[in-house]
Structure 1
């Protein structure tokens, strides 16, 4: 039985890994084509390649659920096509055992994906965004195409790029009063974090009043703020790519600032529930193989897997904004698609028996 478990498990694992490599490869090629439109003297072909390479861990993490669904359908479908599943069932192997054997490699990939998304993807995504911003906006002080927006009280802030060493490039500060009238604007070429404050360089500050505008230039200027490089790092990376601890910490920071934190709470719950989501999708894939797709062709299985994956992702994308509009907790938006997958898969498996 152990040899049989290893055989089925390896078949499913290799299929998932192959599908994941193909999907991420196609996505990386599409991203490279899109980035190639921005190639210039400062943003070269090599830098575009480096940017795509650094974003690969995040792409792998994003597509693991989709790859687990299609890969499991292909792996078990291959065993069904060669009648190996029929022989296993005839020899007394239960559907429950086959489900568990097929689920183990998927859960192993889910754990690997969780570690990738928790410890690798956030750092590589930050490096990628920083290097692209610096290459596309060398030496610029004003807002570039790729930047970071943040808010602290009545001050709106924009940064072109953030280095890992705590240096921020291209700072713009817009200060408003309680009636949302602009009091002043400040632009600096860069700022360096000194532990509990920032030192800005090449600063231009403009103050507005009802009768005049005054402008001052400073070689250096001290900036006291509660914003830290660690906090800006959280803004650089998309919420879905942040580690759990940082998602929780930044959502709390937004709540203290009186800002909406639902996007980060939703990302937090999605990340926590991703292993369960992978398990639910794999259960649907297994139920299809033992049910309606037992005699299906390879092409039809891929088509069915793509449709299920699109429906699952679309439901996630719709329920997330719906939680913001209708005010129900983000955990429900993240949990509902997972529960539906488990219920649907269990229903099909029950009928397959």
Structure 2
């Protein structure tokens, strides 16, 4: 039995790896070609190449669910096409035993995805965004690619982040409680020192009832709750943050009175990704044992892609719906997983 388990494991794992490599290679090529539209005298071909390379862990993390689903359907489907699954079952090996062996590489990929999403992809994605923003700004303070942030009654825009403790192009708009603009300022550069930001080369405008007042400052100490740790979260999209980073930043936004549903949705989606993979694979396996056991490999791939897209669309639709209709983000993430799991279990029962 150990020989048989190794054979099934090898067949499924190899199929998953091949599918992931093909999908990831195509995505990297498309991403690199897409960056050519953004190139200028500072953001060159090499800069675009390094940007795409830095985003590789994030792209791999995103494709693990779909790649695992299609890979399992292809690997297990090849065994079914060659009647090997039929022989195994005729020899007395139960469907449950086969499923247990198939899920070993699946759980391994789920673990890899969890580690990528928590420890590797957030760091490399932040690096990718910082390198790209600085290159497009020409190493200076001006860029069309930046991030907005709200803190109390101050709206902040940061053009580029060189590292967690160095920022470029900091624009601040300070409002009174009645939403009257009190002050706007622009600092070319900022560094985090001794618990606060040290801004340099500041141009500011103060608005009074009957006149405005402008000034320039060489240095300014800016005390802000936007620490380097939080800043490393702000510069990337919610889906690219770590699990712990999402939770911390969502709680921080709640403290600032800002709606944090999008971050809670991303948090639950990342935390429950292993369950999403298991649910998708369960349905995919039920197709192989049931209606797709004798169809060509191309049709299995198409079926797997369609299934993965339907699952993704369901989560994407339920996410905004949770904000509109007021049900918890956890439910919006968990509902497609439960429906998928129940559907897969039902189809497997019918297939015997």
Q: Could you list the per-position Cα deviations for residues 22-76 of structure 1 after superposition, in whole angstroms to 9, with x for gaps in the alignment?
A: 1111111111111111111110100100000000000000110011111110000
Please identify runs of 4+ aligned residues in structure 1 that moved more than 4 A.
none
Aligned to 1:263: 262
CA deviation after TM superposition for structure 1 residue 263, in Å: 1.1
Aligned to 1:134: 134
CA deviation after TM superposition for structure 1 residue 203, in Å: 0.5
Distance 1:127 1:103 in 2: 34
Equivalent pair of 1:139/1:189 in contact (CA under 8 Å): no
Q: What TM-score results when the alignment is normalised by the length of structure 2?
A: 0.98
Distance 1:165 1:229 in 2: 5
CA deviation after TM superposition for structure 1 residue 139, in Å: 4.8
CA deviation after TM superposition for structure 1 residue 140, in Å: 4.2
Aligned to 1:352: 351
Aligned to 2:88: 88
Structure 2 regions of 5+ residues with no counterpart?
none
Aligned residues between the structures:
352
Correspondence 1:342 to 2:348: no
Aligned to 2:167: 168
Aligned to 2:317: 318
Once the two structures are superposed, the pairs formed by residues 216-255 of structure 1 within 5 Å of their partners are 216-255=215-254
Aligned to 1:200: 199
CA deviation after TM superposition for structure 1 residue 322, in Å: 0.5
Aligned to 2:278: 279
In structure 1, the residue corresponding to 2:163 is in which secondary structure? coil
Aligned to 2:67: 67
RMSD of equivalent CA atoms: 1.1
Q: Could you list the per-position Cα deviations for residues 80-133 of structure 1 after superposition, in whole angstroms to 9, with x for gaps in the alignment?
A: 111111111111111111111111101101101111111100000000000100
- Which stretch shifts more, 77-86 or 205-214? 205-214
In structure 2, the residue corresponding to 1:258 is in which secondary structure? coil
Distance 1:259 1:228 in 2: 18
Aligned to 2:48: 48
Equivalent pair of 1:170/1:190 in contact (CA under 8 Å): yes
CA deviation after TM superposition for structure 1 residue 211, in Å: 2.0
Distance 2:61 2:72 in 1: 17
CA deviation after TM superposition for structure 1 residue 246, in Å: 1.4
Cα 1:297–1:139 change in 2 (3 A) is closer
Aligned to 1:23: 23
Q: What TM-score results when the alignment is normalised by the length of structure 1?
A: 0.97
Aligned to 1:210: 209
In structure 1, the residue corresponding to 2:194 is in which secondary structure? coil
